[in-house]
Structure 1
Amino acid sequence: MSSKQTPLRPNRKVNETAKDVFFFIPNLIGYSRVVLAGASLYYMPFHPKYCTWLYVVSCLLDAFDGMAARRFNQCTKFGAVLDMVTDRCTTSALLCFLSSEYPRFTILFQSLISLDLASHYMHMYSTLTTGGESHKKIPKEGNWVLRQYYGNNYVLFAFCACNELFFVALYLLSFPPRSPPRLGYLMGMPLSYPYVLAALTFPICAAKQIINCVQMANAARALVDVDLQDRKAAGVHANDKMMKDS
């Protein structure tokens, strides 16, 4: 959630090895996220409490690895990719489970997985292709929505957290409810904490999907602009060669 591609400060240790980078503090936090996410997937089918806590802690650590990267001057491209891949994999795994618990909505969960993967991959690829430092650094002339989304860490954290919490709430609702419900009834419908959590986080989760669409469309346009520039340059070179040959 938080950017790891901030400018590097001078470091006393100049002879760093690949092993040093792999064991940077933010990357160690990233590995712990993977372990926690894997454990949550193990408990997912039969122990909602363990699964939820492990999953939530794994997601929360996403904020701390970026802070550690900036604090210890250990911002790396590997860390940024590890962060994004972990996010995409954990969310996709949870949505796969939800598709099995809510089979009528399988196509919806499949679409959400596809949108999430496609939008982030295209955004990352377009950033690298256009020479950007980080997929979270949107230039001033860039898309306004993406600048607001990536430009404020609190906004980014809120959207990502609510997105995950909505899916976690759906996961908890897939298990048999307590009887009687802890929060009583509303218009004859039993209320529980997962119901309330789902209701509160759904609007932001829906907005997150819209942002994913904007991100994918913006990345597609950026890539097409690069294609046009490349084709124009190739055309100029081809014309020059034809003139020389003639």
Structure 2
Amino acid sequence: MAKDPKLGKLTVYLYIPNIIGYIRVLMNVVAFALCFSNKKLFSVLYFLSFVCDGIDGWCARKFNQVSTFGAVLDMVTDRISTACLLVILSQQYRPGLVFLSLLALDIASHWLQMYSTFLLGKASHKDVKDSSSWLFKLYYGNRMFMAFCCVACEVLYIILFLIAEPHSESVIDVLLHAAKQSFLLSALVLSVLFGWAIKQAVNVIQMKTAADVCVLYDINKKQKP
């Protein structure tokens, strides 16, 4: 007996990792609604949403509920939440173009990577075994290393949001001032800066590699008889 397509669709929507994804979206909505009135609550909700990013992936593998919809929901939630925070930071620090440039790099690199994955017929954008970059392969090949870089990036942005003053100046000046007041904060910032820098380097490599795939696809397409 053939399965009802509507029932199958509903089943995918109700996968455990996808339900976690909906919760992530809700937490982010509440977090950004309260971001200026309650910075601490925002930071907690935002970080919990980010942690759930790892939990939903674990659940997808644990319960064999991996889905294309879940993967897209996961990435879209990541990109939008990070983008919103970077936009807020661009309004609190000068020059704001620094954060807008980071936003553009993040979206462009991931969009190109997803599209190049589609062109190559790969099942996942994390399949980079054929890449010539050791850093790129290390990032996507080692789950713990990738998690560290992603967490470091988000933690850095949260710290910058928390220590921002109503009329904050440059990012460097604010960080140096905060570091002088707390040794623990300075140690934390230094550690997350390393992971943040790695992630930005990977974004650049990812964007260039994916762009090359798109160009080669066009060249091969024109050469076919």
Q: Could you tell me the TM-score, scaled by structure 2's length?
A: 0.88
Q: What is aligned with 1:65?
A: 56
Note if 1:38 corresponds to 2:36.
no
Residues 134, 203 of structure 1: alpha-carbon distance in 2 compared, 3 angstrom cutoff: same
Corresponding position: 1:168 with 2:158: yes
Query: Aligned partners of 1:84 and 1:115: how far apart in 2?
Result: 15
Q: Of Structure 1 and Structure 2, which has the larger fraction of its residues in helix?
A: 2
Select the residue among 124, 137, 143 that pairs with 1:134. 124
Q: How far does residue 175 in structure 1 lie from its aligned partner after superposition?
A: 4.3
Structure whose CA Rg is larger: 1
- Contact 2:153-2:199 at 8 Å conserved across structures: yes
Q: Are residues 192 and 172 of structure 1, via their aligned partners in 2, closer, same or farther at CA, if it must alter by over 3 Å?
A: farther
Change in 2 beyond 3 A, CA 1:144/1:200: closer
Distance in 1, matches of 2:102 and 2:110, equals 12
Q: 2: CA distance between counterparts of 1:212 and 1:141?
A: 14
Shift of 1:101: 1.1
Aligned to 1:179: none
Task: Note the alpha carbon deviations across 1:98-152, whole angstroms, 9 max, x for none.
Answer: 11111x1211011000000000000000001110110012234554322111111
**1:91-110 aligned within 5 A:** 91-102=82-93, 104-110=94-100
Moved over 6 A (4+): none
| Equivalences for residues 146-185 of structure 1 within 5 A | 146-175=136-165
1:158-216 per-residue CA deviation (whole Å, 9 max, x = no partner) reads 1100010010110111148xxxxxxxxx9x93227555432321122122111100000
How far is 1:228 from its partner?
1.1
Q: Distance in 2 between matches of 1:97 and 1:192?
A: 27
Q: Aligned equivalents of 1:60 and 1:39: distance in 2?
A: 16
1:207 to 198, 204, 209: 198
Task: Confirm whether residue 230 of structure 1 aligns to residue 206 of structure 2.
Answer: no
Q: What is the Cα-based RMSD across aligned positions, in Å?
A: 2.0
Return the alpha-carbon distance in structure 2 between the equivalents of residues 42 and 192 of structure 1. 32
Instruction: Give the Cα–Cα distance (whole angstroms) in 1 for the partners of residues 183 and 66 of structure 2.
Output: 42
1:163, 1:204 within 8 Å by CA — same for their partners in 2?
yes
Q: Using the alignment, how far apart are the partners of 1:22 and 1:123 within structure 2? A: 25
Identical aligned residues as a percent:
36
Instruction: State the number of aligned residues.
Output: 211
In structure 1, the partner of 2:45 is 54
Specify the SS of the correspondent of 1:17: helix
The Cα offsets for residues 36-93 of structure 1, whole Å up to 9 and x where unpaired, read as 1111111211211101100110000000101111111111111111111101001011
TM-score between both structures, scaled by the size of structure 1: 0.80
CA distance in 2, matches of 1:81, 1:192: 40
What SS does the aligned partner of 2:209 have? helix
